[in-house]
Structure 1
Amino acid sequence: MTHAALLNLAPAPAATRAGTRAGERFLVLDSWRGICALLVALYHFPTSSMISQSAFVGGSYLFVDFFFVLSGFVIASSYGGRLGEPDELGRFALVRFGRIYPLHVLMLVAFAGFEALRLVLPAVHGTGPAPFTGGFDLKGLLANLLLLQGMGVQDHLSWNAPSWSISAEFFAYLLFAGVVFATGRRAWIWFLAAAVTAPLFLLAVSTHHMDVSFDFGFIRCLYGFSLGALLAWFQHDSIAAARQSLAGGAGRIAWTLAEFAMIAVIGVFVSVAGTNDAGIAAPFVFALALYLFAHEGGWISALLRSRPMLMLGALSYSIYMVHLFIQARMINVGGILERKLGHGIVGDLMLRGDPATGFGAGSPWLGFIALVTMLVAVVFASWFTWRFVEMPALAWFRRLAKRI
């Protein structure tokens, strides 16, 4: 959402406390949001295919940290100089709330509706825990409604599990606004302190490396968000100036080589660092990638500015929020078909060394077909939630904020 980096739309230009010009739209970074959202969806979908079994997909939960870094960069660029008055704080909080909450609630309703369906239909109930228990209990539902699911108030992931990150990010928004309001141009000192102390904290206390969520998710979010904010505070103007000079194609080959190299670094890092403490360095790796691609200087950036890629970026928040529900329902349907037809459609398998229930237990090719089907279904559903939930809700909250 992150993914709320998944969430940000730049407002009108304005001068910031750091002397930058806000409202600069980084189209290539928008496209990266969509790519990262799909990679997180791949990480959550258990199949026997080679793609699902790869070390790269196994470490792709780290792309949530890309969202956090990007969110800090975009929010600091857009709002760094617009939070000097209490009413500006209120408008900021309202628009941010309106950006994340309507789709979040819709997905909670979808999950709750399915739990209710499990109460009355034995075929859907399956052999799992009783409805409204475990990760779908009423206490967890309340925490999710209050956006507290990523703030350490629970001891497990619940309901729409990936939404822990939007919980953490919403409170990072509020903390950012409070720090900028209280300290003005000195806000960067607080961002620097968070960017230094948060990884040290995770190294000291995390037993799952960078894979923290319901427990220390806010610390993880604050870490990446602060790095992104620091990058905006000190480099936004230089990036904007460089982009103007690069618009004519100057140094295109050199920038293209740098972009290829950065993608290779990300691929190796995610593949190697996902299962150890090296993953705690992910926000620094992604901050470097963000800095490079914000210049939009190479041919890869040109590809990422294409209409399909920008559309994928627009759908990124919906992809992030709907993918787990669609995946779970696909497994439900696959389980019913397996009981009737067999053929190893859904069953027990080993996913990157751990037992799981997923697609293609009888054949990796079935797993690959299910994976492609899942991606298509997620993108298709995401277009509808983006078009009929996200955008209308955001427009309504923006009108409301203007009336304050």
Structure 2
Amino acid sequence: MQKTIRYLANLTPLRGIAALLTVFFHLDLTLGSGGDCLVKFNDSMILSRMYLMVDFFFILSGFIMCHVYSKWFAEAINGTQFKKFTIARFARIYPMHLVTLIYTIILFYISSLLQIPKVPVLQSADSGYSVFTNLLLIHSMNLHNWFSWNHASWSISTEWWAYMVFPFLVKPIMKLKPSGIIMVIALCFIGYLGITYYIIPIITVPPELPFVKINPAALSLNVAYQFGFLRCLCGFTLGMAMYQCYKASWGAKLLSNGYAIAIIGIGVFTCMHLALPDVITVAFFPLLLLSGSYGSAGIDKLFALKPLQLLGDWSFSIYLVHEPLLYT
């Protein structure tokens, strides 16, 4: 099939840190009924922009899929390999998605038996129909006007369909010359700008949530239950393109040191703190991936620490489990 693939250990802690920051984002929303609790908006907008960690996940996912599976589909899409790939990805994401979905359904069913009033911001889109769409992983395909059941699973829905597209993108992207890769990267950012300026203004919310306001002036990428698949596709494709940059060692001399990854990290958090347009923040993520992937003696030593590796290993579970636990 293919030779043993080198494990990119430095990316594991980055995934874990992103998952933990997502937990803080949702915790702030839960405690503050919309944010402004753990960190006051007057002090910093950093927590209010932590939804962008999902975009980091999307980019990282495209990168890792290329690293692990691109050789399977480099020349053609073989039915046997496509089946094996599909089963492997299904086994990776669906069991935890199903468990958290069932847990959330049972939790809200028990709360109804106890005559606990529904919480509109949590349950507006919960119905038999949304159970069906969640089971099919299509609940972020413009079928609802709000998050349903385990809200965090919207990105798992989009990720699954990105996996299904992935084998068809591998050969075209791998065959591109450097100028073609630059063009793909540019198209991904054009897609992000399209989301910011054309998709965000048409997002709808349920009438029972009048306090939820979509602000196009914020220049956000925060689409999820509607048009989330476009956001995922931009990030996933960008990650695939960046993997070609990694293989070609683009910027390796500049990025393979601790100073570079620290400066990039500071850039990410500064953009969030100042609430700059999301596309600017996202522009740092590919550089963060490259710097982590290239590594250095200092980076490798830091990211090899067991707590950071464990955090990364648990990141998927942390991401899917944390919101149902917050509901409890």
Alignment equivalent of 1:119, drawn from 112, 119, 140: 112
Cα distance change on mapping 1:133 and 1:42 into 2, 3 Å:
closer
Query: CA contact under 8 A between 1:41 and 1:323: conserved in structure 2?
Result: yes
Alignment deviations for residues 103-122 of structure 1 (CA, whole Å, 9 cap, x no partner) = 00000100010122123223
Q: Distance in 1 between matches of 2:311 and 2:305?
A: 10
Q: Is the Cα contact below 8 Å between 2:12 and 2:312 reproduced in 1?
A: yes
Matches within 5 A, 1:332-343: none
**Distance in 2 between the 1:238 and 1:76 partners?**
15
Inter-CA distance 328–298: structure 2 relative to 1 (3 Å threshold)? farther
Aligned to 2:221: 210
CA distance in 2, matches of 1:63, 1:45: 14
Cα 1:137–1:146 shift into 2, 3 Å: same
Cross-structure match for 1:268: 270
Q: Distance in 1 between matches of 2:262 and 2:173?
A: 39
- Contact (CA 8 Å) 1:199, 1:223: kept in 2 or not? yes
Q: Which residue of 2 aligns with 1:166?
A: 156
SS of structure 1 residue aligned to 2:137: coil
Equivalent residue, structure 1, for 2:51: 61
What's the C-alpha RMSD, in Å, of the aligned pairs?
2.9
Structure 2 Cα separation of the partners of residues 213 and 23 of structure 1: 33
CA contact (8 A) 1:199 1:280 kept: yes
User: Which piece of structure 1 moves more, 65-74 or 197-206?
Assistant: 197-206
In 2: Cα distance, 1:110 partner to 1:313 partner: 24
Does residue 41 of the first structure (1) align with residue 27 of the second (2)?
A: no
1:234 and 2:245 matched:
yes
Relative to 1, partners in 2 of residues 1:198 and 1:119: Cα closer, same or farther, differing over 3 Å? same
Aligned residues: 295
In structure 2, C-alpha distance between the alignment counterparts of 1:149 and 1:52, rounded to whole Å = 31
Q: Which amino acid aligns with 1:176?
A: F
For 2:47 and 2:327, the matched residues in 1 are separated by 18
| Alpha-carbon distance in 1 for matches of 2:301, 2:175 | 35
Structure 1 residue 164 displacement after superposition: 0.8
Structure ranking higher on relative contact order (CA contacts 8 Å, 6+ apart): 2
TM-score (norm 1): 0.66
- Quote the residue 1:96 is aligned against: 89
Unaligned runs of 5+ in 2: 202-215
Give the number of the structure whose alpha-carbon radius of gyration is greater.
Answer: 1
Assess, with a 3 A threshold, how the Cα gap between structure 1 residues 282 and 167 changes in structure 2: closer, same or farther.
farther
- Confirm whether residue 147 of structure 1 aligns to residue 158 of structure 2: no
CA distance in 2, matches of 1:181, 1:235: 17
**Structure 1 residues 133 and 72, CA, compared in 2 at 3 Å: closer, same or farther?**
closer
Please state whether the residue corresponding to 1:159 is helix, strand or coil.
coil
